[in-house]
Amino acid sequence: MNHEELNRISGIILDCAIEVHKQLGPGLLESVYEICLFKELRSRKLFVERQVLVPVIYKGENLEADFRIDLLVEKEVIVELKAVEILLPVHQAQLLTYLKLADKRLGLLINFNVPRLVDGFKRMIHGYS
């Protein structure tokens, strides 16, 4: 997927997340935001998967220590959702790990527990510029 298409999709994801935040506001569980964002993205005709397993392979062996991506949009963009007081470096490290293990270029970290959603939005690119 080219850079322009990734930008277009990430813009739609942000618009959808803002809509969910407008409807629900901060203070709910991450799982509630996940379900609502999933529905909002699907209503915009995007292909979205929830709780996608990412295996951990070490020296050719599957360690059965799977990670789960909150949302995978158009099989290319990883969306990791949070409902926390503040985004920490560990949250960014988690998203970078998912990008690396899943071999994806673009990830979005979205924290719904903020007054304005744009303040809880972080875009991360792995490996490519």
Under 8 Å between Cβ of 13 and 73: yes
Q: Supply the pLDDT for residue 116.
A: 92
- Res. 128 pLDDT band, cuts 50 70 90: low
The mean pLDDT value for 4-10 works out to 94
Q: How far, in Å, are 9, 110, 126 from residue 15 at the CA level?
A: 10, 12, 22
Structural domains of the chain, count: 1
Burial of 74 from C-beta contacts in 10 A (0-12 / 13-18 / 19+): middle
Q: Supply the pLDDT for residue 129.
A: 39
Q: How far, in Å, are 17, 55, 60, 62 from residue 87 at the CA level?
A: 16, 25, 33, 30
Give the range of the structural domain holding residue 32, as residue numbers without chain letter: 3-125
Strands 77-82 and 106-111 come out as parallel
φ, ψ at 7 (rounded to 5°): -65, -40
CA distance 58 to 64: 10
pLDDT in tens, 54-104: 888 888 888 877 789 999 999 999 999 999 999 999 999 999 999 998 999
Q: Supply the pLDDT for residue 15.
A: 96
